[in-house]
Amino acid sequence: MLPYSLTRFIELFSKIPGIGPRQAHRIAFWLLRHDKNFLYSYGFAIRDLADKIHVCRQCFFVFETTSGGSETLCTICRNPSRDQTRIAVVEKETDLISIEKTKQYAGLYHVLGGLFSPIEGNNHDLKVQELANRIRENPQTQEIILAFSHTAEGDLTAMELERILKPFPAHITRLGLGLPRGADVEFADEDTLGNALQSRR
Ligand SMILES: [Zn+2]
């Protein structure tokens, strides 16, 4: 019933988390009410994500390369005024952004890319080995802050990492009690998250 290009668009957009087929239909028809250049701006924005955004080889956060640039580290890892002795381990990029917004943390990060799952075999994509290697290669690391949400999976991940990182001399802390049970780091307000950072232990 629908033209092929429209069907294809809806199929692709339905795959985006939080967007189902119904919303994808709405987005498609909303876009079609605009002119060509408006539609192209969406296309170019997605193309730029593919072409210009890279993942930091050290912390796995994203950064943009300047034209002809050959950077492999993000702006946080490249910034010499950040505290090089601390690494905050976060589940995902948006958690890092939330912590940055509190302006109460000046150390480095490590984006794990998910949390440990109680289901065996689900944990192979996490950047755990990369974290261990990084701490091994950077003996100046004094504190590793496990900045996970206070959920069952967050607790499990903290437990696993404590076990894996035990051989290293760095002090392992976790976000403090300011963060309530079930609270997601990403959605915690800045004050709550700031307090949780201050009261880590
Ligand atoms: Zn980085």
CATH number at residue 88: 3.40.1360.10
Residue 146 resides in a domain: yes
Q: How far is the CA of 108 from the centre of ligand 1 (A)?
A: 8
Q: How far is the CA of 107 from the centre of ligand 1 (A)?
A: 11
Percent of the chain beyond pLDDT 70?
94
Kindly give the pairing relationship between strand 143-146 and strand 171-174: parallel
Residues 118 and 186 in one domain: yes
Residues 136 and 38 in one domain: no
pLDDT at 121: 65
Among 109, 147, 148, residue whose Cα is nearest residue 130: 109
Q: How far is the CA of 58 from the centre of ligand 1 (A)?
A: 5
Tokens for 152, please give them: 């069952």
Q: How far is the CA of 201 from the centre of ligand 1 (A)?
A: 24
Residues 89 and 49 in one domain: no
Residue 117 resides in a domain: yes
> Which residue is associated with the tokens 């956060």?
61
Q: How far is the CA of 106 from the centre of ligand 1 (A)?
A: 13
Residues 48 and 88 in one domain: no
Q: How far is the CA of 111 from the centre of ligand 1 (A)?
A: 9
Model confidence pLDDT, tens digit, residues 52-111: 999 999 999 999 987 777 889 999 999 999 999 999 999 999 999 999 999 999 999 999
Q: How far is the CA of 55 from the centre of ligand 1 (A)?
A: 8
pTM (2 decimals)? 0.83
Among 56, 43, 36, residue whose Cα is nearest residue 13: 43
Model confidence pLDDT, tens digit, residues 155-187: 999 999 999 999 999 999 998 655 666 667 777
Segment 19-35 shows an average pLDDT of 96
Domain span including residue 44: 4-55
Residue 130 resides in a domain: yes
- Judge contact between 169 and 144, C-beta under 8 A: no
Among 30, 85, 36, 87, residue whose Cα is nearest residue 61: 87
Q: How far is the CA of 137 from the centre of ligand 1 (A)?
A: 15
Residue 166 resides in a domain: yes
Residue 73 resides in a domain: no
Computed on alpha carbons and rounded to an integer, the radius of gyration of the chain in Å comes to 20
Q: How far is the CA of 60 from the centre of ligand 1 (A)?
A: 6
Counted domains in the chain: 2
- Work out the mean pLDDT of the chain and round it to a whole number: 90
Residue 61 resides in a domain: no
Residue 46 resides in a domain: yes
Please state, in angstroms and rounded to a whole number, the distance separating the CA atoms of residues 128 and 134.
10
